[in-house]
Chain A
């Protein structure tokens, strides 16, 4: 465990990108485990109600889910490209890629909005009479569906806001090719949101 990286890094105002990234990763772990609690609930309730989950999952729109998967994966790609460009000093290309990422994030949310509206329209929302009339497994499936995709959507929204702020920083040269840890860390956050969706997509839309 002995690390010998400690030379002269201990000043109150100092720059330590590795330290910043460690901090960011630790924060990502907390996000991972926040969702982890929900995954635990999903695992248990799926184990207890396999048939109802199976049937309920068929009602979800695979096309919309797949489209959103595509959107988020692409946004992750534009995100790394934005970081890569900025590192090479190509500010304009970086801004373009970052702008695309933000736009894709918004597209994800719009898509999600239509998906949820359709479900609401069919009377499938928490505590709805429709769900109360069905089995308990259905209620749990939709309870988890709304909790998990809702929390995830909230994270996408936060990500969009965060990336927009970083975009302004880059325009104003507060985040520069020499110092872009802020962009780097925002990218890490964005990718984590993507990873959560990588699991949510099959668990809700595909496993039928």
Chain B
């Protein structure tokens, strides 16, 4: 079954590894000025992970602060800045770029049999915009009136009036949006123009489908946040009055515009993760994916329907009841394509000859955690329930199940799955399994407690809490320690593998998609000869 010796489309003799062969420049410049999609993926990997560590540190510190009522380690205003920064970093700098910018860049051209993306230089530029945005965000912390304290949502009118450095923080998000747009634009064009001969739409690996749907959302939705944030800046400089209620502006319109982007952005975050899981499941079940077309089209359906449900963030904002009902209804509809994916993954596992390995375990953890995230999302989609749990820890628990349990676990799954391909070495699978188990336990101890705390009435973003929530906060904080222990073990293991791991074969997992048919790590231009595709992506039968 596991045909590890199949190196059909390129021999090991074909060119040097991309890690060695850098193109025109040498040394550090061969990385900083590279246009190789694989090297850009590594640049993203390093920078995204660096910022992820900052985000985690902030998260852990916040949990520590909430271990006891009142002041534990920081002052209230610092806490406000911390949850704002935690949100901005995790959303704009980690979750949105993690899967598309790292695995999308690394794998997408290879998966469709191309030598690079359509616009390699724009690809590099989008990384520089990412770095620029990150730097502006950091500068925003230390200049002006201090770090922004609005939360990552920058809601008007508070964002128009607070003395903290919102202007620069908002500008950082604007620049990051630009980076995201360019990545999306590049991927759409690449998928339309650079598929290898015979790589028809219905032969594309499903990760490519997911990335394609995501890229469209990136292109179409991101400009809305761009203009909204620009208007906040204009408002702060010139007092135009468009969102300012004292001048006739409607702050609820800010929320509309914000969520017209930010809800689809949730799907920018989760769709590529789903794509990664769809790649992993058939490989470790040794079965052709069940319901190829259903999964492919459900990606498009999620992207389309996901663009129509933003109003469910605003059920208690004062928007009209008609809008509430309509947005609630469409919200339930999004559950259908999401459930189609879950059912197809499970159906693929049925009667498979399953290979238990770290990528697969992370994928299973994803399915479990994402399902909880999705179902708690449905609870909030119901108008009556939403009123009660709005702005409580239930919401915080829910979106951490989706973003962390979903996207981040999919990211870890992808990292463990493509790691041997990216670096040509293998990490310790035993340690990775241990890390995955600890993280899974810590995650649920942490965030399931948050769901319970929310139902009990603990409001989100509060610095202090009433004594009756003490037990929940203690459990959640302990959970965060377990979770972080797992994360540390996981990353340490991956780092160790870079130096001491054994050499990986071209196809260590027995995958059938194109990336497993070229050497590990891939040569500079991926393929010596562009492959000709004559069958579907998951040909296990």
CB distance B227 to A6 under 8 Å? Answer: no
* CB of B382 within 8 Å of the partner chain: no
List residues of B (246-260) whose CB comes within 8 Å of A's CBs.
247-250, 253, 256-257, 260
Partner of A147, one of B116, B201, B219, B242: B242
A residues within 8 A CB of B185?
A: 23, 26-27, 30
Of B115, B198, B249, the residue contacting A11 (CB under 8 A) is B115
Q: Are A10 and B223 in contact (CB under 8 A)?
A: no
Q: Are B242 and A8 in contact (CB under 8 A)?
A: no
Name the B residues within 8 Å of A8 (CB-CB).
Answer: 197, 530
Residue of B114, B195, B219, B248 near A137 (CB, 8 A) is B248
**Can you offer 22 A-B residue contacts whose CB atoms are under 8 A?**
A2-B200, A2-B202, A6-B198, A10-B113, A18-B193, A19-B194, A23-B185, A23-B189, A30-B219, A30-B222, A34-B227, A36-B224, A37-B226, A37-B228, A126-B234, A126-B238, A126-B241, A127-B238, A127-B240, A139-B241, A144-B242, A151-B230
| Closest partner residue, chain B, to A27 (CB atom) | B185
Q: Which 3 A-B pairs have the closest CB atoms?
A: A136-B248, A127-B239, A37-B227
Indicate which residue in A9, A30, A38 contacts B194 across the interface (CB closer than 8 Å): A9
15 further contact pairs, Cβ within 8 A, besides A2-B200, A37-B257, A140-B248: A2-B202, A12-B115, A12-B116, A19-B118, A22-B193, A26-B188, A26-B219, A29-B220, A30-B220, A34-B223, A41-B257, A44-B250, A44-B253, A49-B248, A143-B247
Once the chains are docked, how many angstroms separate the CA of A22 from the CA of B253?
Answer: 32
Contacting residues, chain B, for A26 (C-beta < 8 A) = 184-185, 188-189, 219
Q: In the assembled complex, how far is the CB of residue A12 from the closest CB belonging to chain B, in whole angstroms?
A: 4
Contact present for A126 and B220 (CB under 8 Å):
no
Task: Tell me if A158 counts as interface (CB < 8 A to partner B).
Answer: no
- B60, chain A: closest CB distance, angstroms: 37
**Across the interface, which residues of B come within 8 angstroms of A63, CB to CB?**
none
Please give the residue numbers on chain A whose beta carbons come within 8 Å of chain B beta carbons, in ascending order. Answer: 1-3, 5-12, 16, 18-19, 22-23, 26-27, 29-38, 40-41, 44-45, 48-49, 126-127, 132, 135-137, 139-140, 143-144, 146-147, 151
Q: Give the one of B115, B195, B242, B249 with max A CB within 10 A.
A: B242
> Is the Cβ of B220 less than 8 Å from the Cβ of A33?
yes
**Interface contact A22-B241, CB-CB below 8 Å:** no
Q: Is the CB of A139 within 8 A of B220?
A: no
What is the minimal beta-carbon distance from B528 to any residue of chain A, in angstroms?
A: 12
Q: How many A-B residue pairs have CB under 8 A?
A: 135
Chain B residues close to A by CB (< 8 Å): 113-116, 118-120, 122, 181, 184-186, 188-189, 192-202, 219-224, 226-228, 230-231, 234, 238-242, 247-250, 253, 256-257, 260, 525, 530
In the bound complex, residues from chain B placing their C-beta under 8 Å from that of A37 are 223-224, 226-228, 231, 257, 260
Selected contact of A127 from candidates B184, B186, B195, B241, CB within 8 Å: B241
Shortest distance from the beta carbon of A38 to any chain B beta carbon, whole Å: 6
Which residue of A30, A36, A48 is within 8 Å of B181 (Cβ)?
A30
B210 to chain A, nearest CB (A): 16
A203 to B222, CA, bound (A): 25
Please determine whether B223 and A30 come into contact, CB atoms closer than 8 angstroms. yes
Give the residues in chain A near B256, CB-CB below 8 Å: 40
Closest A-chain residue to B202, C-beta based? Answer: A2
For B240, give its contact among A36, A143, A151 (CB under 8 Å): A143
Q: How far is the CA of A32 from the CA of B219 in the complex (A)?
A: 11
| Cα of A180 to Cα of B119 in the assembled complex, Å | 17
Nearest Cβ on chain A to B154's Cβ, whole angstroms = 15
Q: For residue B201, which residues in chain A have a CB less than 8 angstroms away from its CB?
A: 1-3
